[in-house]
Amino acid sequence: MREGRLKHFGWGREGEGLTPEEEGFVLDRARARFGVQDFEQVEPPALADLALAPPRLVPPASLKPICSSERYDRAAHTYGKAYEDYVRALGGDYAAAPDVVAYPRSEAEVAAVLDWAGGSDAAAIPFGGGSSVVGGIEPRVDRRRYRASVTLDMREMGRVLEVDSVSRAARIQGGAFGPALEAALKPHGLTLRHFPQSFEYSTLGGWIATRSGGHFATLYTHIDELVESLRVVTPQGVLESRRLPGSGAGPSSDRLFIGSEGILGIITEAWMRLQARPRFRAGCAVRFKDFFSAARALRVVAQAGLYPANCRILDPEEAYNTGAGDGTAAIMVLAFESADHPLEPWMRRALECCADHGGAPEGTAAADSHREGAAERWRNAFIRMPYARERTVKRAIIGDTFETAITWERFETFHDKVKAATEAAIRTATGRAGQVTCRFTHVYPDGPAPYFTFQALGRHGALLEQWTAIKTAASDALIAAGGTITHHHAVGRGHRPWYDRERPALFAAALKAAKQALDPQGLLNPGVLIDP
Amino acid sequence: MREGRLKHFGWGREGEGLTPEEEGFVLDRARARFGVQDFEQVEPPALADLALAPPRLVPPASLKPICSSERYDRAAHTYGKAYEDYVRALGGDYAAAPDVVAYPRSEAEVAAVLDWAGGSDAAAIPFGGGSSVVGGIEPRVDRRRYRASVTLDMREMGRVLEVDSVSRAARIQGGAFGPALEAALKPHGLTLRHFPQSFEYSTLGGWIATRSGGHFATLYTHIDELVESLRVVTPQGVLESRRLPGSGAGPSSDRLFIGSEGILGIITEAWMRLQARPRFRAGCAVRFKDFFSAARALRVVAQAGLYPANCRILDPEEAYNTGAGDGTAAIMVLAFESADHPLEPWMRRALECCADHGGAPEGTAAADSHREGAAERWRNAFIRMPYARERTVKRAIIGDTFETAITWERFETFHDKVKAATEAAIRTATGRAGQVTCRFTHVYPDGPAPYFTFQALGRHGALLEQWTAIKTAASDALIAAGGTITHHHAVGRGHRPWYDRERPALFAAALKAAKQALDPQGLLNPGVLIDP
């Protein structure tokens, strides 16, 4: 099934990437944006040229068959896919490389690796697909406290073990990648229908550990609601919750592990709630004169109890940058889907809500129109977007995204403040104007999840500093204005300073105490969420 | 607003109760069920005759104005509304009465009471409306460890402080009773629409602390999803989460306190997600030949993505007992509601699902038919039911309920096992047949929340023992068959033995550690959820 190995630098597998046409599209827009013709280009070092310290740890004989300290394995597990990761990798900085990468095939082997790490004073870093954009899987650990680091790559535990078609649920291993998981469910007419942007290169365990955001723009937005029960291997033993459709027996055990980002244990299995594969669809793109008009329409749709599967909005510039629009209008991508019933009444009412705020559908709201026009152009751009970063970073283009959530009554002021702070930081950090655009990825009756993209032209040698200044200003602004540091990108190591300001201090104390109970040595993913 | 004070024995306020006609209905059915004409009747002791130990604690001068050790206050805060509570109260056992009842008017006073309790080695028992059926508010504490007990009755913190009509949310104090809360929201055209059976005599803080189950039979079943943010006073200080429509920043802080049953802190305020008041309704009752046919139809409805507000089913005997049916058919009470759009397409499709399993609507599915026929008869019975217990317990009638949840593929076997075990236990404990009936209170795509009612004829002097034998057998059976000990009645002290078997041991360790961080002296509600 796997055509090539995952890149150690870049998105996806070796041999994959933007086509020359796609690269041309991205670079042309960057040329126009920054008013330049050529970019200074720096190539990443070849794998063979990376300076890796000798491994500080040698696995015991019983674990040798599942461990590697090969150059490729260590390099490919050093970084996630954050912009700063690309910059540091471009500069050849692999100081944080794990000493050993383990590929456990069973819970017993996961437990054995944890025992070995504990006995060796090594940090243990859980690893799914490695698509973290917040430093969640980087073995950046305090060398005074940890002698070494071991990454547990869960890819060998990637199967669907059991399917219950009656209750619509499946028991799936934590290391299952998106495509493999869906392929195993398809013959049953079922789907998890959780499609984060990283779908192809991320795993179920990773989604659960990071509260990943998926396909559904309303209702079941996060993976959280799709979890029926969990199995977790902690340094203190295995924990398993019951398969239950609902319970009120104390605080939810699953909710402690959902979003725990690998600091409490390693998610080895979950019973996941599935959907029947949709047979009915109604979808279209709707044009609005500006972003706030689209947002006001969307608020009404979100509060109407219609629950569209998709109702993303793009501001005019973002629509232009992704090829979904011409830059003169905000676009809403609106879709309903069902395995059970035709959706015309739902779609009709949603379009009325849009019309009340000046929204005009593009073309017809036909069953397959989500595969045409602006909606489809945006969808393609969405899937291909992650491949751009390895091309743009080489050219000192700073392109990154950050996302948040805020209640409706604060949204417009919030948007303007965050956008202005980010634009100002770009100008200060790079000496020239950049661009900040916004879309909504998910919406709730009480507020949206805005997703910002920023573009700046940096300078090789100063990229990390420039990016940090912009990221810091944006994060400071959104925390000050009442948002969350992340709606679905997680906290990891990168978001710690702002998470620490957002999170109630007493909850940090409770979480630290819970970690102490499950991981008394502080082996697991130190530095993520809390200090170990 | 309050007409009388809350009863120290019985449901609701003094002066309220079943009408003679209602009592006649209940007793006639009991006579027919058990084949008896008369019941041996024992009256509860009068308040003035209760033997209460002298209070072991005297409040400091600063807290005197908000504290009481009066006979009524102590007696009215000794028990919740569990069947066993009525039996013990009937026998005059008030050994667990709190020494002092405090009525704090502010967070500062809550904190002051906790400080005082901590300095006095007294247990602190949070108290909302006192409707717990699991011993959740009973000061049944280890006298070797705690010198006394102080109940914190939150009724004086019962206001709606702020309403945000744009995001549809309100900031509400933890001590707000259902009717007061709804009355304050009504002028804004908004509603929390959370109606547990105890609605009139329970509080927002109690609902959140116990993961109460409300009006909606699908989707937003528990209070959990309606919580936008929380303020909690712990012995270590105040904790407040941000108002956010959604977040992926680490494990949810709110979810640790939702369901914490007063062992981690006292919920003083919450921003709650509201709904616009419904303008459109479609509802009717549907008859099925048996309970399992109704359940199979309901599974299809639950998996169809239609999200009815109501889709409860009653087995034929339960329909008969509540006056909703004649005992020959199972009844489904089905209703859709919306503030936004007419619901005919939704209702039509749901009725098709029912027809596929032999379901026949009773009368028309008109907008107001939920106020007629079987649906309305059942609704009235549902609201009046809690008043029956103080009349039946005096006559040695054992009548109680327990509820759970289970995935669909196990439901039918589960139902039969639990029902058979409970029936057998009734026969063994009382020497004669009783009755066990079932309904669904909430349903999910992956399973229902079955709610069992049992009726037995006990004997004064042996009631507690007989009830305990039946409750134990039922709980053992449902835990053995894979269910949860509670879908929405909470754990308290009564469900501890089964909760301890259901809950992963390592989660208990994590919860205990979290409690230790927030309540190092173990003051709060000792014995609930975990051992202090």
pLDDT tens digit string along A96-127? Answer: 999 999 999 999 999 999 999 999 999 999 99
Mean pLDDT of A500-506: 98
What's the complex ipTM? Answer: 0.96
Non-local CB neighbours of A122 within 8 Å, separated by 6+ positions: A57, A99, A100, A116, A146, A147, A148, A149, A150, A523
pLDDT tens digit string along B291-327? Answer: 999 999 999 999 999 999 999 999 999 999 888 889 9
Task: Provide the 8-state DSSP code for A196.
Answer: -
Cβ proximity of B204 and B230 under 8 Å: no
Q: pLDDT > 90: what percent of chain B?
A: 93
Q: Looking at B128-231, list the stretches that DSSP marks H as alpha helix, in order from N- to C-terminal side.
A: 178-185, 204-210
Q: Are B407 and A490 within 8 A, CB to CB?
A: no
Residues 322-351 of A with CB under 8 A from B: 338-341, 345, 349
Q: How many CB atoms lie within 10 A of CB B382?
A: 17
Q: Are A167 and B349 within 8 A, CB to CB?
A: no
Assess if residue B342 is contained within a domain: yes
Give how many domains chain A has, as a whole number.
2
Cβ proximity of A249 and B484 under 8 Å: yes
Q: What is the DSSP string of A126-169?
A: EESSS--SSSTT-----TTT-SEEEEEEGGGS--EEEEETTTTE
Same-domain check for residues A255 and A142: yes
Same-domain check for residues A145 and A179: yes
Lowest mean pLDDT among B69-78, B79-88, B286-295, B381-390: B381-390
Which of B223, B407, B530 should we substitute to test contact with A (largest number of A Cβ atoms within 10 Å)? B407
pLDDT tens digit string along A332-368? Answer: 999 999 999 999 999 999 999 999 999 999 875 454 5
Among B384, B412, B441, residue at a domain's last position: B384
Among B156, B179, B199, residue at a domain's last position: B156
Q: Which residues pair with B102 in a beta bridge?
A: B67, B152
Q: Are B488 and A242 within 8 A, CB to CB?
A: no
pLDDT tens digit string along B254-272? Answer: 999 999 999 999 999 999 9
Same-domain check for residues B252 and B299: no
Q: How far does B29 lie from chain A, in Å, by closest CA?
A: 32
Measured CA to CA, the distance from residue A164 to residue A176 in angstroms comes to 18
Q: Give the CATH number, domain containing residue B301.
A: 3.30.70.3450
Q: How far does B58 lie from chain A, in Å, by closest CA?
A: 31
Q: What token pair was written down for B409?
A: 């593929």
**Would you state the pLDDT for residue A370?**
53
Same-domain check for residues A444 and A499: no
Q: Are A305 and B307 within 8 A, CB to CB?
A: yes
Measured CA to CA, the distance from residue B346 to residue A510 in angstroms comes to 44
Same-domain check for residues B379 and B289: yes
Which of A188, A207, A252 should we substitute to test contact with B (largest number of B Cβ atoms within 10 Å)? A252
Measured CA to CA, the distance from residue B408 to residue A386 in angstroms comes to 40
Assess if residue B244 is contained within a domain: yes
Assess if residue B483 is contained within a domain: yes
Q: Are A445 and B245 within 8 A, CB to CB?
A: yes
Mean pLDDT of B88-106: 98
Among B164, B503, B509, whose Cβ lies nearest the Cβ of A249?
Answer: B503
Average pLDDT of the residues of chain B:
95
Q: Are B164 and A409 within 8 A, CB to CB?
A: yes
Residues 256-275 of B with CB under 8 A from A: 256-261, 264, 273, 275
Assess if residue A363 is contained within a domain: no
Chain A contact for B202, CB < 8 A? no
Which of B242, B279, B516 should we substitute to test contact with A (largest number of A Cβ atoms within 10 Å)? B242
Residue B3 banded pLDDT, cuts 50, 70, 90? low
* Helices (H) then strands (E): counts for chain B: 16, 18
Q: What is the DSSP string of A84-124?
A: HHHHHHHTT--TT--SEEE---SHHHHHHHHHHHHHTTEEE
Residues 208-227 of B with CB under 8 A from A: 210-213, 219, 221-222
Q: Looking at B279-407, list the stretches that DSSP marks H as alpha helix, in order from N- to C-terminal side.
A: 291-303, 316-321, 344-355, 373-384, 389-392
Same-domain check for residues B268 and B170: yes
Q: How far does B8 lie from chain A, in Å, by closest CA?
A: 27
Same-domain check for residues B173 and B236: yes
Assess if residue A346 is contained within a domain: no
B469 is in which domain, residue-wise? 396-505
Assess if residue A108 is contained within a domain: yes
In this structure, the dihedral spanned by the alpha carbons of residues B190, B376, B323 and B286, taken in order and rounded to 10 degrees, is: -110
Cβ proximity of B441 and B449 under 8 Å: yes
Q: Is the pLDDT of residue B277 over 50?
A: yes
Phi then psi dihedrals of residue B24, to 5 deg: -60, -45
**Nearest 5°: CA angle at B338, between B337 and B340?**
160
AA identity, residue B509: A
Angular region, B385: left φ>0, alpha ψ -120 to 50, beta rest: alpha
The pTM of the whole model exceeds 0.95:
yes
AA identity, residue A319: A
Question: Which residue, chain included where needed, has tokens 């058979």?
Answer: B420
pLDDT tens digit string along A287-336? Answer: 999 999 999 999 999 999 999 999 999 999 999 988 888 999 999 999 99
Measured CA to CA, the distance from residue B20 to residue B520 in angstroms comes to 51
Q: How far does A250 lie from chain B, in Å, by closest CA?
A: 5
Measured CA to CA, the distance from residue B109 to residue B127 in angstroms comes to 15
Assess if residue A28 is contained within a domain: no
Chain B contact for A253, CB < 8 A? yes
Q: What token pair was written down for B405?
A: 């949840």
Q: Which residues pair with A454 in a beta bridge?
A: A400, A436
Same-domain check for residues B191 and B144: no
Same-domain check for residues B146 and B175: no
Among B246, B443, B529, whose Cβ lies nearest the Cβ of A222?
Answer: B246
Assess if residue B248 is contained within a domain: yes
CA distance to A111, A231, A366, A500, B465, per residue, from A265 (Å): 10, 10, 46, 21, 43
Q: Are B250 and A221 within 8 A, CB to CB?
A: no
Angular region, A34: left φ>0, alpha ψ -120 to 50, beta rest: alpha
Q: Are B239 and A507 within 8 A, CB to CB?
A: yes
Among B156, B173, B193, residue at a domain's last position: B156
Same-domain check for residues B318 and B243: no
Q: Give the CATH number, domain containing residue A218.
A: 3.30.465.10
- Nearest chain B Cα to A222, which residue? B248
Q: Are B236 and A509 within 8 A, CB to CB?
A: yes
Q: Is the pLDDT of residue A443 over 70?
A: yes
From chain B, the residues in CB contact with A264 under 8 A are 510
- For chain A, the C-alpha Rg in angstroms (whole number) is 23
Q: How far does A85 lie from chain B, in Å, by closest CA?
A: 20
Q: How far does B302 lie from chain A, in Å, by closest CA?
A: 10
Same-domain check for residues A489 and A510: no
Q: Is the pLDDT of residue B370 over 60?
A: no
Q: Are B486 and A259 within 8 A, CB to CB?
A: no
Measured CA to CA, the distance from residue B248 to residue A483 in angstroms comes to 12
Measured CA to CA, the distance from residue A127 to residue A103 in angstroms comes to 10
Q: Which residues pair with B266 in a beta bridge?
A: B233
Measured CA to CA, the distance from residue A143 to residue A125 in angstroms comes to 14
- Nearest chain B Cα to A235, which residue? B506
Q: Are B513 and A509 within 8 A, CB to CB?
A: no
**Would you state the pLDDT for residue A1?**
41
Cβ proximity of B491 and B134 under 8 Å: yes
Phi then psi dihedrals of residue B345, to 5 deg: -60, -35
**Would you state the pLDDT for residue B1?**
41
Q: Are B255 and A252 within 8 A, CB to CB?
A: yes
Mean pLDDT of B93-112: 98
pLDDT tens digit string along A191-229? Answer: 999 999 999 999 999 999 999 999 899 999 999 999 999
**Nearest 5°: CA angle at A249, between A243 and A253?**
60
Q: What token pair was written down for A511?
A: 């979480």
Chain A contact for B389, CB < 8 A? no
**Would you state the pLDDT for residue B373?**
78
CA atoms within 13 A on the CB side of A125: 32
Which of B167, B226, B238, B451 should we substitute to test contact with A (largest number of A Cβ atoms within 10 Å)? B167
Q: Give the CATH number, domain containing residue B86.
A: 3.30.43.10
Chain A contact for B279, CB < 8 A? no
Same-domain check for residues A458 and A490: yes
Chain B contact for A439, CB < 8 A? no
Measured CA to CA, the distance from residue A493 to residue A261 in angstroms comes to 10
Output b/e per residue, A490-519; b: 16+ Cβ within 10 A. Answer: bbbbbbbebbbebbbebbbbbbbbbbbbbb
> How many contacts, defined by CB atoms under 8 Å, are there between A and B?
294
Measured CA to CA, the distance from residue B345 to residue A345 in angstroms comes to 7
Phi then psi dihedrals of residue A171, to 5 deg: -95, 120
Mean pLDDT of A81-91: 98
Say if strands A148-153 and A100-102 run parallel, antiparallel, or are unpaired: parallel
Q: Give the CATH number, domain containing residue A475.
A: 3.30.300.330
